Amino acid sequence: MRVLLIEDDIPIQELLRAYFEAKGHAVSSAADGVEGLKAFNAGVPELVLLDVGLPRLDGWAVLEAIRASSAVPVVLLTALDDTDDVVRGLAMGADDYLTKPFDVRELDARVQAILRRLEVPETLSSLDVGDIHIDDRSKTVTVGESFLSLSPKEYKLLTLLASEPGRVFSSDEIIAHLWPDSDRAAANDVKQYIHLLRSKLYRSPDIGDPIENIKGFGYRLNG
């Protein structure tokens, strides 16, 4: 899912970014209302988190401009004691709100509830890890500007690793995912596909080798 964060409090913006990226979502952000609207128009996000108190153009004006053209779910970020903001925001077409400050567990619970309520699909239609962009609707992978031609198995392997960047996947997990019906697949097959995928990803000079072999444990994709 493409998430847009419009928030001028940078630690909060970074907390939210880390949270959504860890879930595999593509995050763009802006620190004022004008840039926020620009990012909105450029990126067609599927979820917007919008701070109320923003420089240059406040959250109300941003919300109004978004609502003039889009029904995208908008979640307001408000300070704890601003119940008036919440009422006003919901009246203006915001879908929900998060009160600041929040810790990660609270954030997670709230966001899950909001996504369920808004029926925003949590299944990924696209995924970004570093410079790697995976579009699951068209099954295409781009690295920077260049398209990669992947076999279905390579694609499956990449999306598995990309579903949780930084997490180590064991050979057994990869086998279960790539060859669910076979009892003959072995760690060597995994090795071979990792090699194939790595050589394709490696062709892009910008990113180096994003797949890391953790000896004795498995493989992970680094963002």
Residues forming the site for Ca ion (CB under 5 A) = 8, 51, 53
Nearer to Ca ion, 5 or 158 (CB): 5
The sign of the CA dihedral 167, 171, 176, 178 is positive
Distance CA 99, CA 168 (A): 34
Nearer to Ca ion, 6 or 129 (CB): 6
Nearer to Ca ion, 53 or 223 (CB): 53
- Closest approach of Cβ 94 to Ca ion, in Å? 15
Rounded to the nearest 5 degrees, what angle is found at the Cα of 103, between the Cα atoms of 120 and 76?
45
Distance CA 209, CA 211 (A): 6
- Closest approach of Cβ 174 to Ca ion, in Å? 43
Residue whose CB is nearest to Ca ion in the complex, by number: 53
Q: Return the structure tokens found at 34.
A: 């004008």
In this structure, the number of other CB atoms found within 10 A of the CB of residue 90 comes to: 13
Nearer to Ca ion, 10 or 187 (CB): 10
Nearer to Ca ion, 51 or 154 (CB): 51
- Closest approach of Cβ 211 to Ca ion, in Å? 39
- Closest approach of Cβ 12 to Ca ion, in Å? 8
Nearer to Ca ion, 78 or 159 (CB): 78
- Closest approach of Cβ 62 to Ca ion, in Å? 12
- Closest approach of Cβ 51 to Ca ion, in Å? 4
Of 14, 66, 58, nearest in space to 34 by CA? 58
206 close to 144: Cβ distance less than 8 angstroms: yes
Three-class secondary structure of residue 148 per DSSP: strand
Distance CA 57, CA 75 (A): 17
